[in-house]
Structure 1
Amino acid sequence: MPDEEVVVENPTDEGSEDHQEVSDHHEHHKDQLKGKKLSWQKLRRNDSLDLESRRFTAPHGHASKGADWSVIMHLAFQSIGIVYGDIGTSPLYVYASTFTKGINHSDDILGVLSLIFYTLTLIPLIKYVLIVLRANDNGDGGTFALYSLLCRYAKVGLTPSQQAEDRDVSNFQLELPTKSVKRASRLKSSLENSPFAKIFLLFATMLGTSMVIGDGVLTPCISVLSAVGGIKEATSAMTQGRVVLISVVILIALFMFQRLGTDKVGYTFAPIICIWFTMIGGIGVYNFIKFDPTVVKALNPQYIVDYFRRNKKDAWISLGGIVLAITGTEALFADVGHFTVRSIQISMCTVTYPALILAYTGQASFLRKHHLLVAETFFKSIPKPLYWPMFVVAVMAAIIASQAMISGTFSIIQQSLSLGCFPRVKIVHTSTKYAGQVYIPEVNYLLMLACVGVTLGFRSTAKIGNAYGIAVVFVMTLTSSFLVLIMIMIWKTNIFLVISYVLVIGSVELLYLSSVLYKFDQGGYLPLAFATLLMFVMFVWNDVHRRKYYYELEHKISPEQLKEIAVDANFSRMPGLAMFYSELVQGIPPIFNHYAANVPALHSVLVFVSIKSLPISKVPLEERFLFRRVEPKDLNVFRCVARYGYTDVRNENEPFEGLLVEKLKEFIKDSFWISQTNTIPSSANEDTKFQIEEEFEDSTLASGGENGKEDLKQQVDDQDKQQDLLDREIEAIDKAWRRGVVHLVGENEVTAAKGAGIAKRILIDYAYNFLKRNLRQCDKVFDIPHKRLLKVGMTYEL
C-alpha cells in the first residue's frame, strides 16, 4: 500500500506528461460539451439532428426591452408615427360617411357620437390594447402570429415537416399555465384530428391576410382623397375632378418613393402625427366650448337606443360609416414587432385615444349648430387662422397613414411567402436597423395600379368608405375567432370570461359586419374581389407546394441508394463543396438521383440544405442550422436544415455560406467528442458522465507501475490518432471550401399525373405554372451568385 501511494503522489516525469496530455484532452472536450446542454440519449442515434438544437439562449423578442423605461417611452413616441396614422386620420371622413343622407334629428348626432365613443373604447382600447396585444408571438403580432401560436401548440400545419428538434429553439416554447384543463385538451385533439379544421384555419389566415392587403390598397385612396378634398374650402375653382387628379399624383409619388425605405423618412413621422393629434384634439376642445358643451350627454348609451328607434334600418346602415372610426386598429397588433406591448399601450392610452375622443366630440358640437355642413365637417369646423396649417398637416398625416399600411402589406406578404402561402417575389430589406422594414418591387407596382384605379373609379370617399369598412371588420372578426381559440387552448381562460368576450365584443363586431355587407353593391364588393383574387393565388401556390413536398417525401433517396451512387466505379469525386437546396427535411430529395444519373461526378463535400420555415417569428442565428452525417462517414455527405422564422432575413446581410461551413465544422468536432464517450451508459446524465471520466482517470493512475504507464501511453496514442482523424476531416472541409462552392438548385417542373381530373389539371398545369413562369426563380429569392449556380431540372407528376 505505501508503495502504491508513492506512485500516485510522485509519478515519473514521463507518466506525468502522459497523464497531463490525456487530462488536457478530457478537459478540452468536457468544456466544449458542457456548454451545449446535450441530450446524451438522443445523440446516440445515427440520424440525430439534435446536436446543434441543444443550444439554448435567452428568449429573443421585444419583451426584453420592457425593463428599461427610457427605452419604452422612446418606443412609445416612435409608435405614434408608425402605428396610428390610419386610425388618426379617420376624423377626416367619419361623420361624412355616416350621415350620407344628411342629419334628420339633432339628437342623431348624440347617438352617433355615443356609438363612436363606445366603439373606440370597446375595440381598440379594450380588445386590442388590453387583450389582443397579449397574444403576440415573441413580440411579433398580426394574423400569422396568431396562426403560428396555434400551430406550435397543436399540430394543425398541413405540411408534414415537423421535427422534434424544432421545439428546442429558444422562441418555440410557449409559456403555458401548469394547470391542465380538459376543455383545452379536447379542443386541441379535435383540431389535430380534423382535416377540415386544419384547412379552415389556414383558409382563415389567408383570408385575413388578403383583407389586410386590401386595406393597404384602400387606405391611401380614402386618406389622401379626404385630405386633398379640403382645398375645396379655400377656392371654388377646385372641382372634384381636380381633387382626384391631385390625389392620383400624390399616390404615384408615394409609391415611387417606397424603394427608398420607410427608415429614411421614419424620423419625421412621429413629430408630424403628434402635431396632428395635438391640433385635432385642440380644435375639438375649441369647438366643444364654442358651439355645444352639452354633447357630453352622449356618454349615456340611451342615446344609442333612441337613435336606432328613430332611424331603424337607416341607423343600422349608418354603422358602416361609424366603423371607419376604428380603421387601422389592426395596425396596433400587426406593428407590435417594431415596438413593445407596453410602449403601444402607453401611446394609445395617453395620446391617441384622448385626441380622437376630443376630435369627434368637437365635431359633434359643431354639427349641432351646422346640420347642413356634415359633408365637409372636418375642414368646416377648423378656425380660419388654422385652416392652411391644418390642411398641410392633414395631407402629410394622410401620406403617413398610407405609408404605414403599405409597409404593413409588404411585411404580411413576406410572412406569407415564408410559410409557402405566396408565390416567390423579391424581398428587399431597406433598413439595417429594423428587420421588418421591407420593400417588394412587384407588389409595390401592383398596389400603385390598384390605388390609382380605385381613386379614378370611385372618385369619392363615401363609396371608398363602403369598401373600406368590409376589409376592416372582416380582419377584426377573424382576429377575434383566433383569439377565442387561443384563450381556450393556450391561455386556459375561464369559460365565463370567454363567453363574455364573445357576447360583448364578438356581437358588436358581427353587428358592424352585417352593416358593411349590406353595402356590398355600393363598393363593398371591392375588398372581397381583391381578397378572392389573392386567396386564389395563395391557395394555388400553397396547394401545389404541399403536393410537391408529399411527392418528394414519397420518392426520397434512401441512404443505401446514396451509398450505391457514391461507390459506383463510374462515379468520380471532384474537389470543392456543393450545396444542394430543397425543402424536404426528412431525407434526400429525388432530384439528386436525377442529377447523379446525368452528371456522374460528385464534389468532395456535399451538403443537402433544406430551407425550412418554423411557425415562429425569428430563429436565433446560433440555432439556425441542424446537421446530420449521411453514412458512410468517408463520403463527406451531410444533411443540413436551415431554419427561419416568418420575419427572418434569408441570405441577405448575413454570410450564409461561411456561417454554414463554420457550423458544419463545429458539428463534426462535437460529433467526434461525443463518439469518444459512447462507452458510457446512455442513461447517464452530463454530470454523471464527467464524474465517471474523472474516476476513470484516477483509477488509471492508481493502478501504478509499468501497467499504468502502458495504459496511459496507449490512451495518448489513441487520442493522437483520433485527433489526427478529426484534423484531417476538418482540413477536408476547409480545402473543399477554398476550392469553391457550387450551389445546386432543383428547378422542378410540375404537371398533373396522367388520368387526373380537369380541376387538378387546371390547378397544376395552368394556374400554378402560369404563376411560376411569371415570378422570380429560387436563386433570385435566395441571392445565389450566378457564377456558382447549377440548376437541375426534373418533372414531377403530381
Structure 2
Amino acid sequence: MAWLSQYQAIVYGNGANGPILQGGRSVTEQAIISSETRQAPQGKMSALALSALGIVFGDIGTSPLYTFKTVLGTAEMPSDPATVLGALSLVLWTLFVITTVKYVSFAMRVDNDGEGGILALMALLGVKKHHRPSIVAVGLFGAALIYGDGAITPAISVLSALEGVNMATPALQPYVVPAAVVILLALFAIQSRGTAEIGHFFGPIMLVWFVAMAVMGVAGIARHPMVFAALSPSYGLSYLFSHGMTGFLVLGAVFLCVTGAEALYADMGHFGSRPIKLAWFGIVFPSLILNYAGQAALVLEGAPTDGNIFFRLCPEPLLLPLIGLATIATIIASQSIITGAFSMTRQAIQLGWLPRLYIKQTSSEGYGQIYVGVVNWLLMIVTVGLTIVFGKSDNLAAAYGIAVSATMLMTSALLFIAMREIWGWSVWAAGFVAGCFLVVDSAFFLANLTKIAEGGYVPLVLALLIYGVMWIWHRGAAAVSQRMREALIPVDDFMKRTQAAGIPRVPGTAVFLTRAERDIPPVMVWHVKHNRALHEHLFVLRVEIRSVPWVFGEQRLTIEEVAPNFWRAEAHFGFMERPHIPELLAASKSLGCTVDLADVTYYVGHETVIHRDDGMGMPAWQEKFFAVMERNAVHVSDFFSLPNDQVVEIGRQIAI
C-alpha cells in the first residue's frame, strides 16, 4: 500500500503545485509523478476511486441535504403526487443528462494533457497561439464564476447540515447560524496547515456518507415503491410544460442537484478519468438516485414538506449521529471547493491572468498541497458574511446555482469548438450534440436568472469583480511588455557599444531574466549604465508559461550562443508546473552551455508603473489599479525560486 499512501499524499488538496516550493519535488519529479498517477494499473482503480470520493464528489454528494426540499418549496401543491413525481423525474434526469452524459461521457474526453476544467479547456483551444478574445472572455468569466460558487458552497452546505438539529431539538435553532460561523472560521483558519493528515480520511468518510444516503433512500422507497415511476422522463416533462411559470421556476431549484458536476471535469488531472468514472457509476450516482427517490417516497406517503425532508428519512435514534456525519461531509465538500479555488488561482497566475501571489506548499510529499493566503481570507470573509446575512440554507439556495449554471453554459460553448477543432467533427454533428447541451444549460441558466433579486446577484457581482481584476492585470502586463520592447537594442550593436566604451568584463556569470523574445534585455542595459561593468559569462533567460499543463524533455529548454560567452535561452513550463531557474541552469550544461554555475548572479528588473502623459496609455484608474497589484505581487525572484543572496534588483519607471 506504499504506492497508495504516496498517491494520497499527492492528490489530496484538490490543487496543483504552486510556483513557490518550500521543501518538495523538482519539476522533473512532479512531471514523473503526474504521469504515473494518470497511468495507474487496473488493480489500483478502486483505491483511486475511493480517494476521489473525498475530493471530487463532496459538493454534489451533499446536495440531497437541500435540493429536494427547495424544489418542493418552489412548486405549487408540493404534496400532490404529480408534483412529487414530476420533481423527482426532473432531478434524476438532470443528474443523468448533465453529469453522466455531458461531463462524464463528453467533457472528460477533452483534456489538456490530462487536465480538465474551464481554464484548461480555454488553454487547450490555443488562445495563446491565436487571437481569440471571445474564447478568453468565456473561459475567464467562467473561472471567475467558480469563485462565487466557492464562497456560497461552504455556507449553504454547513447551514443545511446543522439545520437538522431543528428536528432533533428545536430549542437549538437560534444557535444554528453561530455554530455554522464557528465551523466556517475554523475551517478557513486551518487551511494554512494543509490537509495532508486529515486528507487520508476524506475518502472513507464520504464512502460512509454515500452508503448511509443509499440505505436511507432504500428504506424510504420501501414505503412507497411506486416512486420509481419517476424514472420515466414523461413525468418531469409533463410537470414542466403544464405548470407554466411555476414549472419554469422549479428548474432553478432542480439545478441544485448538479452544482458539483463541474468538479468532475476540473479534478480530472489529479485522478485521471477512469477512477472518477468508477466512483460515479459505482457509488455516487446510485446513492443519489436512491436518496432522492427515498425522499420523494416519504412525501408521497404523507410526510410534511416543511423542514428538511432529508433528515426525515432517518430513524429518530440515529438522527444526531446523522447530523454529525452530515456536518463532516459538508466540511469535506467545503474543503474541496476551497482548495479548488487555490488550484484555479495558481493556474490563472501561471497563464498570466492574475498577479503573482504567495503560494505556500503545505506538504513536501505532494504537489497538490498548496495554500494561497489572500484567496483563503477573502473567501472566508465572503462566506461568513453570506452565512450571517442569509441565515438559512433556503435563503442561500436563491443565490446558489446561477454561478454554476453560467459556467456550465460557457463550458458547453467551448465544447462545441473542441468537438470541431480537436475531434474533427462536422459542424452538424458538433452542433447537434453541443446544441442539446446548450439548450439544457440555457434553460437552467434562465431559470436561475429569476433569482437575481433574491440573492443571485451575489455570485454575479463577485464574478464581475474577479473578471475585472484578471482583465486589468493582463492588460497592464501587456502594456509593460510593449513599452519594454520599444527600447530593445540588437545584440551586435550592444556588444560593439560596450567594447567602444571600454566596459570591463568581470569574472562570473550574470543571468538576466527578461520578457523580451529577442535582442538585449532592458535590465542588462540598465546594469551596464549604472554599474559600468559586465560579467564574463552572460546568460539571458526568457520564461514562457505554455497553455499545456506539463512540458517534457527537449521542449523544456532551447538555448543558443548569440555572441562569445553570451547565451540566450528560452524555458517553457506548463501551467501546472513550478518554475525553478537554478535547476534549469544546471540542465543547460547538457546542452553545451559553458556558464560558470559556481559564481552566478541573477539580475531582475523591478518596474515602477506610472501614467503616460501622451494620452496613449491605459485609463488612469486602470493604471493605478494595476500599479497597486504590481507593487503587492510576489517578487519575481520568489516566483522563480531564485536564491535571495544571489539576486540583484534594478529598478526603473515605466509609463503605460
Question: What's the TM-score once normalised by structure 2's chain length?
Answer: 0.91
Distance 1:661 1:345, change over 3 A: same
- For residue 88 of structure 1, the aligned residue among 43, 61, 67 is 61
Paired position in structure 1 for 2:49: 76
Distance in structure 2 (CA, Å) of the matches to 1:147 and 1:420: 13
- For residue 201 of structure 1, the aligned residue among 135, 145, 160 is 135
Structure 1 residue 124: Cα displacement: 0.6
- For residue 563 of structure 1, the aligned residue among 495, 499, 504 is 495
Paired position in structure 2 for 1:119: 94
Contact 1:85–1:398, Cα closer than 8 Å, also in 2: yes
Structure 1 residue 388: Cα displacement: 2.0
Structure 1 residue 92: Cα displacement: 0.3
Query: Is 1:109–2:84 an aligned residue pair?
Result: yes
Query: Is 1:288–2:146 an aligned residue pair?
Result: no
Contact 2:58–2:332, Cα closer than 8 Å, also in 1: yes
Distance in structure 1 (CA, Å) of the matches to 2:471 and 2:622: 10
- For residue 236 of structure 1, the aligned residue among 167, 170, 195 is 170
Paired position in structure 1 for 2:639: 781
Structure 1 residues 318-357: aligned runs within 5 Å: 318-357=250-289
- More deviation, 448-457/370-379: 370-379
Paired position in structure 1 for 2:587: 663
Distance in structure 2 (CA, Å) of the matches to 1:468 and 1:610: 43
- For residue 790 of structure 1, the aligned residue among 630, 648, 656 is 648
Contact 2:38–2:269, Cα closer than 8 Å, also in 1: no
Distance 1:462 1:581, change over 3 A: same
Distance in structure 1 (CA, Å) of the matches to 2:365 and 2:113: 18
Contact 1:516–1:524, Cα closer than 8 Å, also in 2: yes
Distance in structure 1 (CA, Å) of the matches to 2:645 and 2:366: 31
Distance 1:642 1:264, change over 3 A: farther
- More deviation, 519-528/489-498: 489-498
Cα deviation code 1:36-57 (max 9, x no counterpart) = xxxxxxxxxxxxxxxxxxxxxx
> Gaps spanning 5+ residues in structure 1: where?
1-57, 163-191, 670-729
Aligned length: 625
- More deviation, 75-84/784-793: 784-793
Query: Is 1:276–2:209 an aligned residue pair?
Result: yes
Distance in structure 1 (CA, Å) of the matches to 2:570 and 2:61: 44
- For residue 628 of structure 1, the aligned residue among 552, 556, 560 is 560
Paired AA for residue 142 in structure 2 = G
Distance in structure 2 (CA, Å) of the matches to 1:340 and 1:758: 45
Structure 1 residue 345: Cα displacement: 1.1
Distance in structure 1 (CA, Å) of the matches to 2:289 and 2:428: 31
Query: Is 1:763–2:642 an aligned residue pair?
Result: no
Distance in structure 2 (CA, Å) of the matches to 1:770 and 1:366: 57
Paired AA for residue 575 in structure 2 = Y
Contact 2:145–2:404, Cα closer than 8 Å, also in 1: yes
Distance in structure 2 (CA, Å) of the matches to 1:366 and 1:215: 30
Paired position in structure 2 for 1:222: 156
Paired position in structure 1 for 2:239: 307
- More deviation, 260-269/355-364: 260-269
Distance in structure 2 (CA, Å) of the matches to 1:286 and 1:295: 12
Contact 2:164–2:323, Cα closer than 8 Å, also in 1: yes
Structure 1 residues 378-393: aligned runs within 5 Å: 378-393=310-325
Q: Which has the larger radius of gyration?
A: 1
Contact 1:62–1:139, Cα closer than 8 Å, also in 2: no
SS in 1 for 2:85: helix
- More deviation, 344-353/431-440: 431-440
Contact 2:99–2:258, Cα closer than 8 Å, also in 1: yes
Contact 1:573–1:603, Cα closer than 8 Å, also in 2: yes
Distance in structure 2 (CA, Å) of the matches to 1:118 and 1:102: 18
Contact 1:607–1:638, Cα closer than 8 Å, also in 2: yes
Cα deviation code 1:739-762 (max 9, x no counterpart) = x32221100122332232696222
Structure 1 residue 385: Cα displacement: 2.8
Paired position in structure 2 for 1:703: none
SS in 1 for 2:559: strand
Paired position in structure 1 for 2:179: 246
SS in 2 for 1:439: strand
Distance in structure 2 (CA, Å) of the matches to 1:382 and 1:122: 29
Distance 1:115 1:452, change over 3 A: same
Cα deviation code 1:625-647 (max 9, x no counterpart) = 2212121x1xx221122211111
Paired AA for residue 422 in structure 1 = L
Distance 1:772 1:503, change over 3 A: closer
Paired AA for residue 641 in structure 1 = E
Contact 1:607–1:640, Cα closer than 8 Å, also in 2: yes
- For residue 649 of structure 1, the aligned residue among 578, 586, 594 is 578
SS in 1 for 2:307: helix
Paired AA for residue 301 in structure 1 = P
Paired position in structure 2 for 1:549: 481
Distance in structure 2 (CA, Å) of the matches to 1:266 and 1:587: 49
Cα deviation code 1:765-786 (max 9, x no counterpart) = x111122233333233334333
Distance in structure 2 (CA, Å) of the matches to 1:428 and 1:333: 25
Paired AA for residue 631 in structure 2 = R
Distance in structure 2 (CA, Å) of the matches to 1:482 and 1:437: 29
Structure 1 residues 724-735: aligned runs within 5 Å: 730=594, 733-734=595-596
Paired position in structure 2 for 1:97: 70
Distance in structure 2 (CA, Å) of the matches to 1:549 and 1:417: 17
Distance in structure 1 (CA, Å) of the matches to 2:500 and 2:286: 76
> Gaps spanning 5+ residues in structure 2: where?
1-30
Paired position in structure 2 for 1:742: 601
Distance in structure 2 (CA, Å) of the matches to 1:60 and 1:618: 12
Paired AA for residue 638 in structure 1 = W
Contact 2:38–2:114, Cα closer than 8 Å, also in 1: no
Distance in structure 1 (CA, Å) of the matches to 2:113 and 2:48: 17
Paired position in structure 1 for 2:513: 581
Paired AA for residue 632 in structure 2 = N
Query: Is 1:640–2:569 an aligned residue pair?
Result: yes
Contact 1:99–1:374, Cα closer than 8 Å, also in 2: no
Structure 1 residue 662: Cα displacement: 2.8
Paired position in structure 2 for 1:410: 342
Paired position in structure 2 for 1:469: 401
Paired position in structure 2 for 1:675: none
- For residue 121 of structure 2, the aligned residue among 146, 152, 156 is 146
Structure 1 residue 371: Cα displacement: 5.3
Structure 1 residue 621: Cα displacement: 6.4
Structure 1 residues 46-57: aligned runs within 5 Å: none
Distance in structure 2 (CA, Å) of the matches to 1:309 and 1:618: 48
Paired AA for residue 99 in structure 2 = P
Paired AA for residue 214 in structure 2 = G
Fraction of identical pairs, as percent: 32
Query: Is 1:397–2:329 an aligned residue pair?
Result: yes
Paired position in structure 2 for 1:689: none
Cα deviation code 1:473-530 (max 9, x no counterpart) = 1111111111100101110124443233134222111000000011111000001000
SS in 2 for 1:523: helix
Distance in structure 2 (CA, Å) of the matches to 1:201 and 1:340: 25
Cα deviation code 1:178-228 (max 9, x no counterpart) = xxxxxxxxxxxxxx5xx5xx1111111110110111111111111111111
Cα deviation code 1:280-306 (max 9, x no counterpart) = 00100001102x111111122222233
Contact 1:72–1:340, Cα closer than 8 Å, also in 2: no
Structure 1 residue 462: Cα displacement: 2.1
Contact 1:580–1:744, Cα closer than 8 Å, also in 2: yes
- More deviation, 557-566/139-148: 557-566
- More deviation, 469-478/548-557: 548-557
